[in-house]
């Protein structure tokens, strides 16, 4: 088996199990958890860079103002995505959060069309229309749009767009983003600590270790994903990525007892059909391209 497939499955399974990890830390407020995630991620990434002796890229990158500006924006979107997800999980919205990651591939398609001038084929437009119908149905039935899902899909879609157009690898990009986020995290944690409101300080040793583990827990799936992306076609990677929201949905419903009734089934069903159409179109295009090259 192509090792890239194993790396991809490992990354998406780990991301799919994130709700269990963050639920374990429910005693920690979302903002404090986010700040710790930023800080410990940087420390872990620095350790990886030191072990690999891979830091010469850092100086030239800091002198490239245009690239640095892109990563400031990607860091903001990444932190917004992380914060929204942490809050959603601990507020009992795992199912709605999973919807965001089902929608995300179609948001990527729209962003590619809007910002990268990528042409959409008829079946891709049909997939986008079906997903939109599912979101409209959920909005109508619930009396409000699924804000958590849309926020997660849009922030991660924007993040992916910025990273696609920035000339840095997965490890280097994550290192730069966490460097940019680290001062904000430290200022917040210092203020909370001086006010005597640090939950980390008063937590048990086991909880402190779990919170410190947010660094490797954040970075390892990203590194696995980067390794997979270099070894297998993007179309295959796109199909495997549905492992993450599927596991999140099952976790929310089966482990934490979140509701999933007929209204959800209709709305999610439309989005799942849209993803099926989108995936089949991607596979069909890949097969056709290979056939043309073979000819």
Model pLDDT for residues 82-95, shown as the tens digit of each residue: 999 999 999 999 99
pLDDT for position 169: 77
- Cβ neighbours of residue 271 closer than 8 Å, sequence gap 6 or more: 99, 102, 103, 130, 131, 134, 135
CB 75 within 8 A of CB 180: yes
Which of 251, 227, 279, 244 has its CA nearest to residue 102? 244
Q: Which residues of the chain have pLDDT under 70?
A: 1, 233-236, 238, 295
Q: How far is CA 222 from the centre of its chain?
A: 9
pLDDT for position 86: 95
CA–CA separation, 242 and 13 (whole Å): 10
Number of other residues whose CB lies within 10 A of the CB of residue 65: 8
Torsion over CA of 169, 86, 114 and 242, rounded to 10 degrees?
80
pLDDT tens-digit map of 137-169: 988 887 888 999 999 999 988 888 888 777 777
Reduced to 3 states (helix: H, G, I; strand: E, B; else coil), residue 116 is coil
CA–CA separation, 97 and 283 (whole Å): 27
CA distances from 154 to 18, 78, 186 (A): 19, 11, 27
pLDDT for position 238: 67
CA–CA separation, 139 and 250 (whole Å): 22
Listing DSSP states for 73-135 in one string gives HHHHHHHHHHHHHHHHHHTT-HHHHHHHHHHHHHHHHHHHHHHS-PPPPHHHHHHHHHHHHHH
- Cβ neighbours of residue 73 closer than 8 Å, sequence gap 6 or more: 162
């Amino acid at each position: 088996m192509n090792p890239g497939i194993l790396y991809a499955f490992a990354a998406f399974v780990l991301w799919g199990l994130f709700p269990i990890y963050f639920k374990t830390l429910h005693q920690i407020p979302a903002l404090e958890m986010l700040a710790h995630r930023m800080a410990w991620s940087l420390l872990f990434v620095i350790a990886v860079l030191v072990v690999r002796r891979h830091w010469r890229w850092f100086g030239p990158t800091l002198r490239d103002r245009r690239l640095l500006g892109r990563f400031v924006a990607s860091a903001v979107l990444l932190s917004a995505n992380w914060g929204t997800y942490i809050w959603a999980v601990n507020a009992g919205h795992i199912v709605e959060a999973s919807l965001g990651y089902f929608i995300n591939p179609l948001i990527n398609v729209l962003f590619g069309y809007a910002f990268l001038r990528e042409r959409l084929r008829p079946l891709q437009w049909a997939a986008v229309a079906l997903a939109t119908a599912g979101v409209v149905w959920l909005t109508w039935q619930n009396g409000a749009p699924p804000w958590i899902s849309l926020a997660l899909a849009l922030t991660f879609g924007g993040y992916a767009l910025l990273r696609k157009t920035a000339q840095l690898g997965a490890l280097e990009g994550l290192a730069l983003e966490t460097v940019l986020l680290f001062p904000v995290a430290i200022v917040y944690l210092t203020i909370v600590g001086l006010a005597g409101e640090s939950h980390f300080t008063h937590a048990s040793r086991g909880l402190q270790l779990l919170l410190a583990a947010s660094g490797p827990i954040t970075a390892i799936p990203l590194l696995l994903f980067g390794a997979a992306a270099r070894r297998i076609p993007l179309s295959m990677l796109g199909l495997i990525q549905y492992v993450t929201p599927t596991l999140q949905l099952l976790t929310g419903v089966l482990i934490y007892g979140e509701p999933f009734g007929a209204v959800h089934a209709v709305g999610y069903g439309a989005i799942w059909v849209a993803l099926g159409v989108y995936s089949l179109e991607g596979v069909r295009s890949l097969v056709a391209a290979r056939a043309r090259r073979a000819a």
